[in-house]
Amino acid sequence: METLELLRLLRDKLLSRYERLLEEYRDPLFELRGGSVDLESLSGVSFLYFTASWCAPCISFMDVVRVLARRYAGKANFYRVNVDENMDLVDSLHVDYIPAFIAVVRGEVVDRVYGVVGRGKLEDFIRRVLESYG
């Protein structure tokens, strides 16, 4: 095999691996920003994760949320909501504590979980919502 051909083969393999890694480490949470978020515009089953950059429990729980968002991608949409940037939504949904994880179906809040609840309990919550509404 010629050197140029070997280099092309190596390039193709590296690009393929790079694309897989990008997909694997891509943040699975969409960011909800802006003053007025219309819950009616969220399609299907959506989960909103209310968090803040200064909230240590929120930060520690983020990895669990990301893992589950990847696992249930395609079955539900997952959104991160920064409470400092979305006070209107925080007030309208009566989010009293963070971290908060709220399930929305066809624009209506159907259930919620507050605090760092652990992976198993959060996954049970997601499954229950998907079985009931998905």
pLDDT in tens, 17-68: 877 766 666 677 888 776 667 777 788 899 999 999 999 999 999 989 999 9
Q: Which residues are the active-site residues?
A: 55, 58
Q: Which domains does the chain have, with CATH numbers?
A: 28-133 (3.40.30.10)
Instruction: Give the Cβ contact number of residue 35 at 10 Å.
Output: 9
- Amino acid letter, residue 88: D
Q: What's the pTM value of the predicted model, to 2 decimals?
A: 0.79
Q: Which of 55, 62, 54 is nearest to 31 (CA)?
A: 62
Q: How far apart are CA 129 and CA 126, in angstroms?
A: 5
